[in-house]
Amino acid sequence: MKTIVRCPKCGADEEAALLEIGNENLHQVKCDKGHESFLVTTQQKYEILFEVGNYAIVDGYYREAISSFSASLERYFEFFIKVLSVGLSSSEFQNAWKQVASQSERQLGGYIFTYLNVFHTSPEILPQSLVKLRNSVIHKGHIPTRDEAVKFGEAVAKIINDGCNLLHRTKKDQLQEIIRKAICPNNSSNYPTLILHTYLNCLSERELSSFEDHLGSLQTHNKPRFET
């Protein structure tokens, strides 16, 4: 995913720099004046993947949107379980996660029973109608409509936001520890921090804004190829 940010070295000139977001939180950017800088983004992997889905909707790629939203949900499951596993060594967690990393059903099962064990109630999950839609898109080549992509995205966003709000209320120290480790690996805290304008953000407890309003705000950054 690519987006435009302000160059940290241009000061008042506010020269634009292209930020190409990858798998890590530390990114190198270069503005039109040739300034090269490093920026640390605060977003978690599931937040970025969800935003990739949003941009796909804006550009009219509804199948790709559902695929990205589905990947975002799986990375949220991993994030949620990781927060509730604070106290285990990183190697212990990674060795266990390897056993489920390649199968979405196992990740869902791990999420459900971890949630149940800690909070003594079952979590909200996708309804079967949306699971069927996702499977049709991913495995059967179904090309969804915009309304289907938006409905799927809204359902995923609610599950993730409700879960993160619960962690803020009950496991805030563990949550902040996992956020810190993701944002500041390998002394990346020495670089300027950039908070991207994304629909999901786990840095604080929050209510979701209008999904359609957020999609509308992306038009100026990534204009659709075809006007309607």
Residue 186 burial by CB count (10 A; 0-12/13-18/19+): exposed, middle or buried?
exposed
pLDDT band at 60 (very low <50, low <70, confident <90, very high): very high
pLDDT of residue 129 exceeding 90: yes
Please report, rounded to a whole number, the percentage of residues in the chain having pLDDT higher than 70: 91
The residue ranking higher by pLDDT, 80 or 2, is 80
Q: Is 51 within 8 Å of 1 (Cβ atoms)?
A: yes
Mean pLDDT score, 43-49: 93
Find tokens 């520890």 and name the residue.
177
217-228 pLDDT per residue, tens: 886 444 544 444
| 30-48 average pLDDT score | 86
Predicted pLDDT at 12: 55
CB 163 within 8 A of CB 156: no
pLDDT, greater one: 173 or 182: 173
Alpha-carbon gap, residue 188 to 124, rounded angstroms: 35
Q: What residue type is assigned to position 201 of the chain? A: N
Q: At residue 38, does pLDDT exceed 60?
A: yes
Residue whose structure tokens are 């690996």: 185
Instruction: Give whole-number Cα distances, 191 to 23, 61, 97, in Å.
Output: 17, 35, 30
Q: What is the pTM of this model?
A: 0.88
Higher pLDDT, 43 or 143: 143
Average of per-residue pLDDT across 162-181: 94
Beta strands in 127-210 (DSSP E): 193-194
CATH architecture of 45-183: Up-down Bundle (1.20)
Per-residue tokens: 174: 């563990």
pLDDT, residue 225, reads 45
Domain residue limits, the chain: 45-183
- Amino acid letter, 7: C
- What's the pLDDT score for residue 13? 60
CB 2 within 8 Å of CB 29: no
Mean pLDDT of the chain: 88
End-to-end CA distance of the chain: 24
pLDDT at 133 over 80: yes
Q: Is the model's pLDDT at 49 over the cut of 90?
A: yes
Beta bridge partners of 16: 6
> What average pLDDT does range 196-206 have in this prediction?
91
Output the pLDDT for position 228.
44
Contact (Cβ atoms closer than 8 angstroms) between residue 57 and residue 149: yes
Crossing angle, helix 62-83 and helix 172-183, to 10 degrees? Answer: 120
Predicted pLDDT of residue 211? 96
pLDDT at 220: 47
Q: What is the mean pLDDT of residues 11-35?
A: 76
**Is the confidence at residue 130, as pLDDT, over 90?**
yes
Structure tokens at 196: 């991207």
